[in-house]
């Protein structure tokens, strides 16, 4: 099938070299559950998150790659009220699966739909019924994205990401046209570029290019020990060199398994990696990591 070229989104452009992530704010640590719990307690208060983001901003970071966790909405609102985050942008990743799973458990399916779906209840049910009858998965996807983007209505979101829990499921089910549908929807509705989280970058990039998505933005683990890199480092390096992927490297420290200096030098030796995203909870660690990335990035 021949793909139609869609207009360039208003959010298109070069991504920042360094981005800040949010795992540390919501109790995500792939190596230590104890540390994850401690961080979750520390960042229960929104002002604690904003303080760390202010430290990141002070270190020169202008891009916050975040989930659509409920608390992120409060973060967006608080930053909007301040005048010291000029040029700050968000790269939201969706869906935040735990949010919906927890809501269904606590509220039930109907109350969850009422809480999260945009528009009136009747409109939502009618649209949902039509989707179910026609097996219109694409329309359901659009409804979910629209619901997730509500809290970013007044914020700048140049890139909108599909979380790996969905990306890799679609990839495994070979529902490849859904990647194009997501790409086209965020471009048309929000003037943004589509990004994709994955645990299998080589396989995903091949599919995205087959779907006519030019220079796809993919965020994936990229580290010296191959931590959570399906297919291994060689396959990732090959994809980086032979495809048009715009790669955002995450987990470059492999959740602390690799010393920062060694880890960042290794990742920066791959000049086609466009951006690096990391999370930290102290000003010292933020400034140290930013300094290392700047030190090893080739001019």
Half-sphere exposure of 141 (CA within 13 A, CB side): 21
Which residues are bridge partners to 249 per DSSP? 220, 276
pLDDT, mean of residues 135-148: 83
Give 109's pLDDT tier (boundaries 50, 70, 90). Answer: very low
Which residue carries 């559950």 as its tokens?
33
**pLDDT value at residue 114:** 57
Q: What percent of the chain has pLDDT over 70?
A: 78
**pLDDT value at residue 140:** 81
Mean pLDDT of the chain, nearest integer: 86
Higher pLDDT pick, 28 / 169? 169
Give 72's pLDDT tier (boundaries 50, 70, 90). Answer: very high
Query: Nearest to residue 11, comparing CAs of 149, 207, 204?
Result: 149
Q: What is the DSSP letter of 6?
A: P
Which pair of tokens denotes residue 146? 């629209």
Give 30's pLDDT tier (boundaries 50, 70, 90). Answer: very low
Domains located in the chain, CATH noted = 18-95+145-296 (3.20.20.100)
Dist CA 92 CA 193 (whole Å): 11
pLDDT, mean of residues 87-107: 72
Contact criterion met (CB below 8 Å) for 201 and 220: yes
Helix, strand or coil, per DSSP, at residue 64? strand
Give 41's pLDDT tier (boundaries 50, 70, 90). Answer: confident
Q: What is the DSSP letter of 62?
A: -
Helix, strand or coil, per DSSP, at residue 143? helix
Over residues 257-272, the pLDDT tens digits come to: 999 999 999 999 999 9
**pLDDT value at residue 111:** 55
Dist CA 37 CA 114 (whole Å): 31
Dist CA 71 CA 82 (whole Å): 17
Q: What angle do CA 179, 158, 224 make, to 5 degrees?
A: 70
Dist CA 2 CA 287 (whole Å): 47
φ/ψ region of 10 (left if φ > 0, alpha if ψ in -120 to 50, else beta) reads: alpha
**pLDDT value at residue 113:** 53
**pLDDT value at residue 118:** 54
pTM for the model: 0.84
Give 9's pLDDT tier (boundaries 50, 70, 90). Answer: low
Contact criterion met (CB below 8 Å) for 143 and 112: no
């Amino acid at each position: 099938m021949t793909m139609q070229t869609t207009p360039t989104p208003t959010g298109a452009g070069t991504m920042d070299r360094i981005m800040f992530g949010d795992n540390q704010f919501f109790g995500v640590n792939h190596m230590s559950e104890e540390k994850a719990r401690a961080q979750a307690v520390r960042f229960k208060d929104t002002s604690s998150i904003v303080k760390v983001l202010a430290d990141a901003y002070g270190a020169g970071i202008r891009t916050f790659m975040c989930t659509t966790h409920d608390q992120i909405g409060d973060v967006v609102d608080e930053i909007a009220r301040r005048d010291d985050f000029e040029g700050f942008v968000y790269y939201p990743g969706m869906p935040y699966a735990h949010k919906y799973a927890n809501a269904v458990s606590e509220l039930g399916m109907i109350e969850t739909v009422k809480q999260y779906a945009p528009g009136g209840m009747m409109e939502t049910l009618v649209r949902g019924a039509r989707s179910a009858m026609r097996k219109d998965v694409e329309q359901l996807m659009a409804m979910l994205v629209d619901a997730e983007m509500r809290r970013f209505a007044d914020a700048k979101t140049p890139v909108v990401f599909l979380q790996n829990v969905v990306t890799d499921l679609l990839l495994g089910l070979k529902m490849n046209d859904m990647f194009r549908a997501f790409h086209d929807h965020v471009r048309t509705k929000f003037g943004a570029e589509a990004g994709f989280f994955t645990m299998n970058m080589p396989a995903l990039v091949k599919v995205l290019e087959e779907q006519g998505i030019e220079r796809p933005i993919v965020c994936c683990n990229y580290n010296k020990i191959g931590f959570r890199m399906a297919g291994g480092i060689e396959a990732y390096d090959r994809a980086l060199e032979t495809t048009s992927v715009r790669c955002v490297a995450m987990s470059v420290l492999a959740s602390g398994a690799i010393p920062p200096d060694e880890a960042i030098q290794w990742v920066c030796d791959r000049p086609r990696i466009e951006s690096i995203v990391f999370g930290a909870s102290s000003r010292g660690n933020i400034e140290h990591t930013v300094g290392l990335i700047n030190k090893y990035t080739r001019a």
